Amino acid sequence: MKKFNRVLALLLVFAMLTAVGCGGKGKTEEGPAEAETGSGSEGEAKDTLTIAQGADPVSLDPYGTTDTPAIRVASCIFETLVTRDDNGDIAPGLAESWEIVDDCTYIFHLRQGVKFHNGEELKASDVEFSFSKIAESPHASSIRATIDFENSKAIDDYTFEMKMTEPFGPILNHLGHAVMAIVNEKAYTEAGDAVGQNPVGTGPYKFVSWAASDRIVLEANQDYWGTAPTIPNVIWRTIPEVATRSIEVEAGGVDVAVDIQASDVERLESKDGVEVFREVASSINFIGLNTTMAPYDNVKVRQAIDLAIDKEAIYNVVYQGTGTIAEAPMSSVVWAYNDQLPKHEYNVEKAKELLKEAGYPDGFKMVMTTDESQARQDTAEIVQSQLAAIGIQVEIKSLERTTYIGEVCAGTLEAFSLGWSSDTGDPDYALYASFHSSQHGEGGNMSFYTNEEVDRLLQLGRTSTDQDERKEAYLEAQAIVWEEVPCIFLQCPEDLYAYNSNLKNFGVYSNGQMRVPEFSF
């Protein structure tokens, strides 16, 4: 009955909008948790930061996934050769400096005295080992770009030479991605098949334990080479139900609620003891259509579906007017964003005409799959109602997060709801990973889209070192993708967090990850 009432409410809101012409490994059924250690009573600083996110990480092996819940946790544990500063510019990470010898040769000079969490000192041999694993990872296929792994090598204990098979403009941006993390050869090898549950990095926090579908516990790295974190312990709780995450932060059961529901923002902003953080994200939410399956291999069918979905209704109902309606295949905060594309109109009659031209005058049956995300489930229910107007009967299925991601990457789902973030800040990762034919599945092209001209443009964009040439290639590629709709692009979101007002220095880095090591009570 509860689900029926929620769906009915959504449809009633949608009807009103239309009338005026108008966005884990498992589920836990636990209620609000008791406050963690370090209650934070007046005069007493808390020693534990508790963060709630919507799903369990798929794995904490940095080469085993690019799943967002995993990256959030892994970013506290692992580090990369370079990073980005608050302006988005490349800054030193584990490499204190580097030389660009030529377009295909980079020399990295490592910081000396950096310790892994197992006590081993960081050496260039660890970088060489890490690169060998990156070379094998399907999740790193779009990030590793044109690195020549066979000829990249440690020169001495603190010097690593990276070779490229051909020039690659945004390579330094890519080296800062979480999937390019540097691991300890000894620890990684000894962990064997359990490496995803036994992460060992150089970061500000060390892994302690993982109770699947419940929580991951981290502790401050006392030997950290950089500025030591202020809060001794961090607990990442898995709370799939978004409303429960909001309730938990209000009740003090958690200190930070990740990805709060847009409809809760106004209420939480007025709540004593709670702050809301909002910032435009580099991501985009979409409905993917598997272009290798009939009828979605027909561009007219995809265009018809796109025309029959009222993005403004979804934006207002599901996303409560947060972020912006998507008007290109990537977020406007990524450079080379194409702001000259024609708007995708909502036109049911035109959609019917296209379906008829495609050979489906009476529509067809469609299965749309989501994970446990409330926003995605609500989106699916509205889409189900809207597509019925052109004869498409939508069946909605929901899968547990880890299973869902596996099915999406395997190409077994015909339609699904997801998001993609350009963590590197460069259009190569926003577009190449999502739409180049070499990236089908785990690489990021989850709609299994193939277009030779798009492939050519995206290859040009990544191999050119001329920024103007790169920009033109990306503008053209976006125009083709926008026209051929391998995905129904819905919304460019805001990062929405609610947090305990006693928590200081809350914010996010330029890659979108929270500044957890800088937080304090």
The answer to whether residues 334 and 512 touch, using CB atoms and an 8 Å cutoff, is no
pTM here is: 0.77
Cβ neighbours, 10 Å, residue 194: 9
Averaged pLDDT for residues 134-143: 92
Residue 370, pLDDT > 50, answer yes
**Tens of pLDDT, residues 319-336:** 999 999 999 999 999 999
> Averaged over 227-239, what is the pLDDT?
97
Task: Return d(Cα 415, Cα 158) in angstroms, integer.
Answer: 48
Give yes or no for residue 76 having a pLDDT over 60. yes
Residue 12 has a pLDDT of 44
**Section 479-485 average pLDDT:** 98
Give me the chain's average pLDDT, please: 91
Tell me the CB-side half-sphere exposure of residue 265, using CA atoms within 13 A: 17
Q: How confident is the model at residue 23 (pLDDT cuts 50, 70, 90)?
A: very low
Give dist(CA 332, CA 178) in Å, integer: 22
Say if residues 281 and 421 touch (Cβ distance below 8 Å): yes
pLDDT above 80 (res 1) = no
Q: Quick one: pLDDT band at residue 44, thresholds 50, 70, 90?
A: low
Please give the Cα distance from 70 to 165 (Å, whole number): 30
Higher pLDDT, 8 or 194: 194
Sign of CA dihedral 335, 434, 179, 324: positive
- What does the pLDDT look like over 393-441, one tens digit per residue? 999 999 998 899 999 999 999 999 999 988 788 999 999 999 999 999 9
pLDDT in tens, 442-474: 889 999 999 999 999 999 998 888 899 999 999
Average pLDDT over residues 123-149: 95
pLDDT at 86: 87
Using one digit for the tens of pLDDT, what is the confidence trace for 274-308?
999 999 889 999 999 999 999 999 999 999 999 99
Average pLDDT (467-491) is 97
Let me know if 138 is exposed, middle or buried by CB neighbors in 10 A (0-12, 13-18, 19+).
Answer: middle
Distance CA 66, CA 178 (A): 8
Is the pLDDT score of 495 beyond 80?
yes
The domains located in the chain, with CATH, are: 48-55+203-277+495-518 (3.40.190.10), 79-184 (3.90.76.10), 282-492 (3.10.105.10)
pLDDT in tens, 171-219: 999 999 999 999 999 999 999 999 999 999 999 999 999 999 999 999 9
Q: What is the C-alpha separation between 515 and 507, in angstroms, rounded?
A: 6
When pLDDT is averaged across residues 372-399 and rounded to a whole number, the result is 96
Average of pLDDT values for 53-75? 94
Mean pLDDT over 252-280 rounds to 94
Crossing angle of helices 299-308/348-357, nearest 10°?
Answer: 160
Q: Residue 465's pLDDT is what? A: 82
Residue 299: how many CB atoms within 10 A of its CB? 15
What pLDDT, on a 0 to 100 scale, did the predictor assign at position 260?
A: 94
Question: Could you tell me which residues are beta bridge partners of residue 164?
Answer: 147
